Amino acid sequence: MSQSDEEQRHLDVQLAACCEIRGYTYYALEAELGNGVAENFDVAELESFLSQAAMNFISSKSDHASEDINWVARYALLSEKEKAPEGWLSTADEGVDVSAQCGTFIKKVRMALGWGNGAVFGWEHLSDETQMLTVRGIIDAQLIWNEASGISENNLEILENIELLQANPARKAVRALANKSSSNSLTSTRHQLLYDEVLLCIQGIRKIACLELLKSWGYEHFNGRIVERVSSAEVQVSGLQGRLNSRYQSAVEKILILLSMLTIVDLALSLISTAFSGSSDASLRTGVVGIFYWVREMNADLILGGSILITLLISLIFMRRR
């Protein structure tokens, strides 16, 4: 394309709409390319121009800057007999016949939708309402994909945090991670309900536009992988929680062992104290020799040392059986 063509080329916006759904903002523009398309045009250059022109228009009419816009999808609205510009579509697929779904059985209306570029053939046969439903179907697909991408990004962040906590999991960090994983799992479940709503509650050309886009993007495989990764993240977080609980139980057991040791030693000390608290004359007069008499006769250090030795043996047996 010559320099004069580039200077004259502009985007003539005829219709513009904005909608907000589940926290996402979407813009739809219907426009004509001023000065047309040259015969030997460069597809990548045209895509870049259309995307930048659309972002400039949106930023001039809204509070969103160009860099805030995640992506721009471009769809050629063509007549029934018209062909898509060469290289505009990624494949030679002629699209899906949606004539029966848009109320026209004589004229042929087809959709060929893809990642960045797409085309609707027979646009002139669609009523204003059907055209609007087509656009809404495209937005439905983008909403579903955006939510799925958000879940995938959150899950990646969760897995990265899991890796950081593998060496030394901290209870507070694991608790926060468990809350985030649970929240992401709930979001994933709600997302499945959103897709079910498209399958069950939306009909006609809107549903076809949505499902055809999702099919071209490989959504079903992507969504299946998301469900698996979310489930895997929950298992990994549960593993960290299990390690923390095991460490806690181990600490409790050690404390109980220590208390048991102190109890045995305390029992020995109490026995010695009781034995020496009374008089030995009564035992000698009656001729009855009791346990406290033998305790008084024994070396107190020997009794204390024996109790400590017994405690250590019990602790050793317990530790070896763990």
Over residues 93-106, the pLDDT tens digits come to 667 777 766 666 55
Confidence of residue 113 (pLDDT cuts 50, 70, 90): confident
Mean pLDDT of 177-191: 92
Of the candidates 1, 2, 11, 72, the one whose C-alpha atom is nearest the C-alpha of residue 42 is 1
Mean pLDDT of 267-271: 72
Instruction: Specify the DSSP element, H or E, that contains 29.
Output: strand 24-34
pLDDT tens column, 227-247: 999 999 999 898 888 888 877
Residues 6+ apart with CB under 8 A from 72: 50, 51, 54, 55
pLDDT tens column, 31-49: 887 666 655 667 888 888 8
pLDDT tens column, 57-71: 888 888 888 888 888
Q: Measured on CA atoms in the order 148, 151, 157, 159, is the torsion positive or negative?
A: negative
**Of 77-91, 216-230, 272-286, highest mean pLDDT:** 216-230
Percent of the chain with pLDDT over 90: 20
**Whole-number pLDDT of residue 3:** 43
Strand partners, 252: none
The residue ranges of every structural domain in the chain are 3-125, 132-247, 249-321
- Of the listed ranges 64-68, 191-195, 213-217, 255-259, the least confidently predicted one is 255-259
Mean pLDDT of 193-214: 90
